[in-house]
Each structure stands twice: as structure tokens, then as C-alpha cells.
Structure 1
Amino acid sequence: MTINSATKTLGFILLAAGIILIGWTLNNSYNIFTGKSAPSEIFVMSEIKISSQPGGPDIQAQVQQMLAEQLKGMLPVNSVPRLLNMVIWSALAGILILGGAQIAGLGVKLIK
């Protein structure tokens, strides 16, 4: 095996690896955005529980509870963390696609 054929073989391997990386990323993105799978949960919102002090009604706790109930009516509970998780996945997918394109580009240069 000569150096030229080894270089071309490595070029084809890099080209295939780049195309596979791009295809895998696009497939996962399609599955996430159509709801077939969930994105990685980086941002998780925990449930906030308000407990009142014994001995009488606490006005501040009541106001916080009323405000929390009103916000739940306007904004679904997990919409903000879900949006942030989608944005993080989109950024990661963009990085993976650019990386796959660079790998495939190296493969094409080695083939020539």
C-alpha cells in the first residue's frame, strides 16, 4: 500500500465520519423537535413549596402564593426550562454539524 492510497483511504474514512456525524445530529434534532425524544435536561425547575408559619396568617406568604398561582396560569410550569434545553440542544447541534463539515472537508482534501 503506497502513501497515496493510504492518504485516499484516510480521506474516505474522514469523509464518511463527517457525513455520519452530520446525519446523526440531524436525525436527533428531527426526533427532538417532533417530540419523539426529549432533549438532554440541563435546566430543571424544581417545585417551590410555601409553608405558612404557625400562629397566624402570613401576608407575605399569601401574596407569594397568589403570585405563583397567577404565573402558573400565564406561563406553563416547565416552559422556560424546556425552552432553554431546546436552545442548548440547537447550539450543540450547530457545533456538531460544523465539526462534521470540517471533518468531511479534511477528507475531501486528502482524497484530491
Structure 2
Amino acid sequence: MKLQLAAFAAALALAGTALAAEPPAAFSACKTCHKVEAGANGIGPSLHGVAGSKAGTAAAGFKYSPALTGWGKSWDDANLAAYIANPKDTIPGNKMVFAGLKNPADVSAMVEYLKTLK
């Protein structure tokens, strides 16, 4: 019985690590266009797996702007933060219409959340 309970507890712990964190409140501005499930593109690409990927490659089947695909950088913490705060200045010519998050705490929370979407 103890062995079964230990196995069950271990399985629950492993299952919990595979789940994404709860989205920060600022994500409400993003969910109109973006989904977080793999392969679920909307007006914007799915954000699943975006953290750490090369810009313009994470969402299979999504038609990214030439500005984004030509940017040539990866979505590390600094690049994600810059883009979330000011998409138009970070990658001029991209097609995202969102003006960006102005509160640095919201930007940081969003970067941390995106890193959980694996």
C-alpha cells in the first residue's frame, strides 16, 4: 500500500511539472489573438514553445511577417521582454497591432509565463 501511494504521489508530481503556469493578468490583452496550445494558431501564432525558439519559427503553419522571420534572433528573455514592451520598435514592420505592455512587472510576468508553455 505504501509503495502504491508513493508511486501515485510521484506520478502526480510529474504530471504537475508538465502543466503551464497560470497566465498573468496582463495575458488578457494577448488572448484575443494568441492561443497557448501547440498548433492552435489564431489571428496571431500559438505561443506554445515560443520562448527559446528562433523568431518566426515556433508556430508551424502560421504565416509570419517577413520582418519577423528576417529578424534572425531567438526569443531569449531580453528579446521577449523588449518585444512585449514595444513590438513595433523592437521589430519594425512586424504585423502585430498590439502597442505593448508598459508596466515592467507585467512584462516580466509575461516572459516568465511564456517560458512555461512547453
Normalising by the residue count of structure 1, what TM-score does the alignment of the two structures yield? 0.26
Q: Which has a greater percent of helix?
A: 1
**Whose RCO is larger (CA < 8 A, sep 6+)?**
1
TM-score (norm 2): 0.26
- Whichever of the two has the greater Rg, that structure is 1
